[in-house]
Amino acid sequence: SPSSKQGKVAIVGSGLIGQNWSMIFAGAGYHVTLYDTDMDQLMRAKTSIKSTLEQYERDGYLRGKTTAVQQNALVSTSSSLSECLSDAFYVQECVPENLELKKKVFKEMDTMANKDMILASSSSCLCASMFTEGLTHKSNMLVAHPINPPYFIPLVELVPAPWTNQELVTRVRTLMEEIGQSPITLRRESLGFALNRIQYAAINESWNMYQSGLLSAEDIDRVCHDGLGLRYAFIGPLETMHLNANGIADYCERYAEGAYNVQKETFKPVPVMYDVETAMKVQEEFSQTMPLDKLAERRSWRDKRLAEISKLKKTLEKE
Ligand code: NAI
């Protein structure tokens, strides 16, 4: 179609993440072919993509300049992996997070790839070196980790294996920006990538404060959603330091000792596991307002807010 870009994108695995990538690429004008080993799931995914795009259009969340009908028309399905990959310049793998499965799928895709094809994995924990070693096209493979829900949270962590072609990483970064995502590039593999390292630091301190009985679970979460989170939606912890003094060097001069004392006094060693007793206490507290059978409702509530914030951010960034 005249509104579609040159080139086709292959999405391997049609679950939550595969559907999100499909909608993101179609919104940017790319032809998308979606593949799954489970045919019923593939059909459900196709139906869900259509209705979700229509819903986003009604709510004013649809990406791109075309209509939901036009975007949906760019998404096709295939019951064959080689047909899905055929002529694709970019492949986004979205199968379940299981090392043996990723190995199997990448080995299979390797036999269908060519020297120009980019093969990215959505993996949230596994590094590309764990499942691409020894493959013919391993220098074209990397991790491109999205954040749930990727349609509204644009961050994508690009994590190359030691043998990934650096120029290719740059091309993926440009592609991610072009389709409206927000890429970051790790220079080498590191467990947890970047987001989870920051997230675990936040979870650990939240856990420690709750465990010591300092404040309620609700109040701990409020520190983020009515405090730090508002700031972090626009500037990160490092820029916060820069702006809260006359530059970050001045900040360190003024506050580093205080920060060190707080951490020395309060931080605990890395928890082996989050303990069941504390977990049950937090869950009991949450059950007052968010019982387990109401979590789906609460997730929709969350997604609606994420969608609104994402819309607001886009408006503000245009200013
Ligand atoms: P999911 O379970 O919703 O979807 C996985 C899909 O892959 C299923 O439809 C399944 O039928 C299909 N599949 C299984 N074996 C296959 C094969 N050999 N070939 C093709 N398709 C196959 O999983 P989800 O949540 O979409 O996760 C996919 C990947 O994205 C995982 O690596 C996960 O860690 C990562 N991820 C997930 C996030 C999340 O919040 N759910 C966030 C960021 C990344």
CA distance 252 to 281: 38
ipTM: 0.99
Structure confidence at residue 1 (pLDDT): 45
Indicate whether residue 148 lines ligand 1 (CB < 6 A).
yes
Provide the percentage of residues in the chain whose pLDDT is more than 90: 94
- Model confidence at 300, pLDDT cuts 50, 70, 90, reads very high
In testing the pocket of ligand 1, which one of 12, 14, 17, 92 has its CB within 8 Å of the most ligand atoms? 17
CA distance 150 to 57: 17
The alpha carbon of residue 220 and the mean position of all alpha carbons in its chain are separated, in whole angstroms, by 24
Q: Which atom of ligand 1 is nearest to the CA of 16?
A: 26
Size (the chain), residues: 319
Q: Is the pLDDT of residue 305 over 50?
A: yes
Provide the percentage of residues in the chain whose pLDDT is more than 70: 98
Q: Is the pLDDT of residue 285 over 70?
A: yes
Q: Which residues of 154-165 are buried (b: 16+ CB within 10 A; e: fewer)?
A: bebbbbbbeebb
145: its two tokens: 């980790």
Q: Which of 85-89, 251-255, 265-269 has the lowest mean pLDDT?
A: 265-269
Q: Which atom of ligand 1 is nearest to the CA of 12?
A: 20
For 234-257, the pLDDT digits (tens) are 999 999 999 999 999 999 999 999
For 129-147, the pLDDT digits (tens) are 999 999 999 999 999 999 9
Closest CA to 82 of 119, 106, 111: 111
Structure confidence at residue 77 (pLDDT): 98
Q: Is the pLDDT of residue 6 over 80?
A: no
Structure confidence at residue 5 (pLDDT): 67
Ligand 1, atom 14: nearest CA belongs to which residue? 95
Average pLDDT over residues 293-311: 94
Indicate whether residue 19 lines ligand 1 (CB < 6 A).
no
Structure confidence at residue 4 (pLDDT): 58
Q: How many Å lie between the centroid of ligand 1 and the Cα of residue 102?
A: 10
Average pLDDT over residues 93-108: 98
